[in-house]
Amino acid sequence: MLRWFTTGILCLAFLGMGISASILGPTFQDLATNVNRNISSLSEIFVGRALGYLCGSVIGGVLLDCMNQFLLLGLSMWGITVSSYLIPFCKTAVLLIVMMSAMGVSFGVLDTGGNVLILALWGDKSPPHMQALHFSFALGAFLAPLLAKLALGPTESADNYTEPDFLPAALNASSEAASDPLLAAPHDMNLLWAYASIGTYILIVSLLFFALFFMKSSRQGKSTASAQPSQRAQYHKALLCLLFLFFFFYVGAEVTYGSYLFSFATTHVGMEEREAAGLNSIFWGTFAACRGLAIFFATCLRPATMIVLSNIGSLASCLFLVLFDRSPLCLWIATSVYGASMATTFPSGVSWIEQYTTISGKSAAFIMIGAALGLMATPALTGVLQGQYPALPVVLYACFGSAIFTTVLFPMMYKVATLPLRKGNRKG
C-alpha cells in the first residue's frame, strides 16, 4: 500500500515539474517585460535552466546514495517552490537567470531521484509505473499553456511593451541595474498569480514527501531490499555509456523537433501560423496521449519491445519527412506518428536497463547528464546550421540522423546487456 501511495506522490510531483518547466514559454514575454528586456536578449534563461538541470542531475545522483530519498525529493520540491514564488518579483535579468538556474537544479534532482525511486519500489514490475510517472510530466506540460491562458489572458503589458532592438544589451543591463531594485512586485499581477499557484501546488506535494520521510515504518525498506538483489552486468560501464549516447540523441531530437516545428512549417512548407500552431499541438498531443496509453501497454509488452517499436516508428516517420519535406499532408501524418513514437522511449529505456544491471543514484545521474547534454547541444547546433543553410530542412536531417543513431545503438546495448553477469542471475 505504501508503494502505491509513494508512486502517486511521485506522479503528482512530476505533474508539477511538467507545469513548472512548460510555463516559461507562455509567460516568456511577460517575464522579459518585467526585467525591461526584449525576448532576443533574454535567451540566456534557457541556457541557465539547462545548466542547472545538468548540475542537479549530478548532485541528485551523488546525494541519493548517501541520504534519505524522500527528504532529498522534498527539498528539491521546496527549491522549485521558492523559485516559483520569486521569479515574478525579479526585476533584473541576472536575478531571473539565477532563479531559473536554481529551478533547473531542482528539476535535475527530482528527475533523477524520481526515476531511481520508482525502480527501487517496483523492481521488475516498474515499467507501467515508470510510464505513469513520465505521463504525469507530459500532462503537466500540456496543461501549462492552458493555465497561462487562464491566468494571463490577453495582457496589455505584453502586447504594448516594446524595446528598441538597437539598444545594446550591456547599456540596457546597466540602466536596468541603476534604476530598478532586485525584487519588486510585477506590473502584471496575473503573472504573479500564475507562478504563485504553481508554487503553492508544489509546496503541498513537498509536504507529502516530508510526511513519508517522518513515517517510522521499515516495511518499505525491507520489501525493497528483498525485491532488488544487487546485480551488475559484466560490462556495466559500457552499457551506461551506450545508454548515455542513446538518451543524448533521443532527447536532442525530441526537443529539436518540438522547438523548431512551428518555424519550419511556416518558413519551409509555407503553412499559415494557425496551421503551424495546430501542427505543434498535434505533436505534443500525440506524445502525451501515447504516454498515457503506454501505462497499459507496459503491462503486456516488454520494455525492449516498446523501444524497438518506438525506434521503427521514429525512423519511418523521419524518413518520410525527409523525402516529402514540402508536403503539408505528409507533415501532418508523419508528425503525428513521430510524436506517438517518441512518447515511450525514455521511460522504457530506464525500465529496460534495470532488468540487466542495478541503477544506483550515480548511474542514474550519468544517464540524465546524457539527456541534458542532448537537450542543450542538438537544438543549438541545429539552429546554427539552419541559419547557414536556410533552404535545407536541417531540422528534419537532425531528427533523421538521431533516429538512425538510436536504432543502431539499441541492438548494441542489448548485446552488451545480455553478456554473462558477474554475480547472480539476470532478473526476468
Q: Which of 283, 289, 288, 285 is nearest to 332 (CA)?
A: 283
Confidence class of residue 155 from pLDDT cuts 50, 70 and 90?
very low
**Could you tell me the pLDDT band of residue 380, with boundaries at 50, 70 and 90?**
confident
Cα torsion 259, 261, 267, 269 to 10°: value is 170
Q: How far is CA 256 from CA 248, 262, 303, in A?
A: 12, 11, 25
Whether the pLDDT of residue 372 is over 70: the answer is: yes
pTM, two decimals, is: 0.79
pLDDT at residue 379, rounded to an integer: 86
Residue 421 bridge partners (DSSP): 233
pLDDT tens figures, 37-57? 876 677 678 788 889 999 999
- Does the pLDDT of residue 257 top 60, yes or no? yes
pLDDT of residue 13: 96
Q: What is the DSSP string of 332-399?
A: HHHHHHHHHHHTTHHHHHHHHHHTTS---HHHHHHHHHHHHHHHHHHHHHHHHHHHH-TTS-HHHHHH
Nearest to 327 by CA among 273, 389, 268, 256: 268
pLDDT score, position 230: 57
Q: In this model, does residue 167 exceed pLDDT 70? A: no
Which residue has 536541417 as its cell numbers? 394
Residue 160: pLDDT over 60 = no
d(C-alpha 9, C-alpha 118), whole Å: 11
Q: Quick one: pLDDT at residue 390?
A: 86
Q: Find the range with the poorest average confidence among 80-89, 243-252, 351-360.
A: 351-360
Q: Share the mean pLDDT of the chain.
A: 83
Residues with Cβ within 8 Å of residue 35, at least 6 apart in sequence = 42, 90, 91, 92, 93, 96, 176, 180
Distance CA 247, CA 263 (A): 25
Cell 521514429 -> residue: 314
Confidence of residue 223 (pLDDT cuts 50, 70, 90): very low
Average pLDDT over residues 362-366: 89
Helical axes 93-122 vs 169-179, angle rounded to 10°:
90
Q: Which domains, ranges and CATH numbers included, belong to the chain?
A: 1-153+183-216 (1.20.1250.20), 233-420 (1.20.1250.20)
